[in-house]
Amino acid sequence: MNALRRYIDKIKPNVEKGGKFHFLKSTFEGFETFLFVPNTVTTTGSHIRDAFDMKRAMIMVVIAMVPALLFGMWNTGYQHFLALGQEVGLWENFWFGFLRVLPIIVVSYVTGLGIEFVFAQIRGHEINEGFLVSGMLIPLVMPVDVPLWMVAVATAFAVIIGKEVFGGTGMNILNPALTARAFLFFAYPTKMSGDRIWIAGLDKGMETVDGYSGSTALAQAAQNNDVLVNGIGDPLTTWDKFMGMIPGSIGETSTLAILIGAFILILTGVGSWKIIVSVFAGGAVMGLIMNAFGGNALMEMPFWEHLILGGFAFGAVFMATDPVSGAQTEKGKWIYGFLIGVLAILIRVFNPGYPEGVMLAILLMNVFAPLIDHYIMEGNIRRRLKRAKVQA
């Protein structure tokens, strides 16, 4: 450890101003601070500081995503072998999925971090840790068969147009990971929806068992099927839906794994429990309203099923809670979350083209979050004006 520190101190002058590799300063600092928490001491204001920093905050979110990631890897293998009609063990399923998912993660991180490094260098800033989370979120909301070049293009689009043009992490209006997902959805719709993209290999003409369908549960419900089935036609139990042994984006299927993540986020205080709870509440309320009217399979679907199918839980826990693009006032968080839940189910039920509404609901509310905050703060300002004697 000391030897490493000495080595870093030795090469550091090269990246300082006037050094040969000054153009790599941000990159160097990024790696240095990854290895060592810097020796900076406080100079103004409070002499002591909380030990919590952005790196740790972001790493906590990544840790919270690990259960969903691991389950997603296993499920990739499970769905693949189910389509083939083969039965294999736990590890074989996982290993297959691991090999399919890993390249997506690598592409997402390399593209995104590369761009971040370049922008940080141009601006002369330190590398911001925000992409550590986005870089993991992007793979988790992709269908497993997505071409890698698409991942790279979407990531680049999300980081540059979704984030850097606004000034970088902390300044963006939309959630970068959802921007990537939405970009692909609208730019390459055939690759992002349908029955064949959710299972590894299916799109490439893999031999499947007879009568196999890779459609997601929501797609079946949108076609007014009353009984939701898995790929080989067996009815799905509530347990299957909750555990996530269904087709879908890599990380979104298992409500259980996502809830473990939610537990980590809420326990550490990194994610807002208010947003998570209110998204679920909004979804449940809208689901109940739909149930009251009825009419088709999606409207008659019990409200709690809406919450465990599709990307609802994933969106509620990992996407809506993004502190930058979400509402920032505590009261605003309740409204913001609730409306995401309501809109997600509304879009899901009434959008004829695509049976999923969470992505669009969150992006829409990302846009409205500043408005919500504005009205909450106006209330505060009005209270202050009311008690003032001198008029402003």
Partner 1 sequence: MSEVIKIRRGLDIKLKGRADKIFTKAPRSRTYAVKPVDFHALTPKIVAKPCEEVKAGSVIFYDKYRPEIKYTSPVSGIVKTIERGERRRIVSVVIEADGKDTAETFRKGDPAAMSREEVVENLLESGLWPVIMQRPYGVVAFPSDVPKAIFISGFDTAPLAPDYDFIMKDMEKEFQAGIDVLRSLTDGKVHLGLDARYPAAKAYTGAKNVERHYFSGPHPAGNVGIQIHKISPINKGEKVWTVKPQDVVTIGRLFMTGKYDPSMIVSLCGSEVKKPLYYKLIRGAEVSSITQDNIVTDNVRIISGNVLTGKTISEDGHIGFSDAQVTVIPEGDYYEMFGWILPGLKKFSVSRTFLSWLTPGKEYRLDTNLHGGERAFVMTGEYEKVLPMDIYPVALLKAIIVEDIDKMEQLGIYEVLEEDLALCEFVCTSKTPVQSILRGGLKMLRKELE
Query: By the criterion CB under 8 A, which residues form the site for partner 1?
Result: 1, 4-5, 33, 35-42, 44-57, 59-60, 126, 128-130, 167-171, 267-270, 272, 323-324, 326, 328-330, 333, 373, 377, 380-381, 383-385, 387-390, 392
DSSP secondary structure letter of residue 231: T
Cβ at position 10, least distance to partner 1 in Å: 14
Burial code (b: 16+ CB inside 10 Å, e: under 16) for 144-172 equals bbbeeebbbbbbbbbbeebbbeeebbeeb
Cβ at position 320, least distance to partner 1 in Å: 13
Rounded distance between C-alpha atoms, residue 110 and residue 159, angstroms? 12
Cβ at position 29, least distance to partner 1 in Å: 8
Cβ at position 170, least distance to partner 1 in Å: 3
Compare residues 39 and 190 and give the one whose CB is closer to partner 1.
Answer: 39
337: Cβ contacts below 8 Å, ≥ 6 apart: 274, 275, 276, 277, 278, 279, 281, 282, 316, 320, 327
Rounded distance between C-alpha atoms, residue 142 and residue 164, angstroms? 22
Compare residues 8 and 24 and give the one whose CB is closer to partner 1.
Answer: 8
Compare residues 167 and 189 and give the one whose CB is closer to partner 1.
Answer: 167
Cβ at position 272, least distance to partner 1 in Å: 6
Tokens of 17: 């101003």
Compare residues 170 and 189 and give the one whose CB is closer to partner 1.
Answer: 170
What number of CA atoms fall less than 13 Å from residue 392's CA on the CB side?
A: 7
Compare residues 371 and 385 and give the one whose CB is closer to partner 1.
Answer: 385
Compare residues 37 and 122 and give the one whose CB is closer to partner 1.
Answer: 37
323: Cβ contacts below 8 Å, ≥ 6 apart: 272
Cβ at position 312, least distance to partner 1 in Å: 23
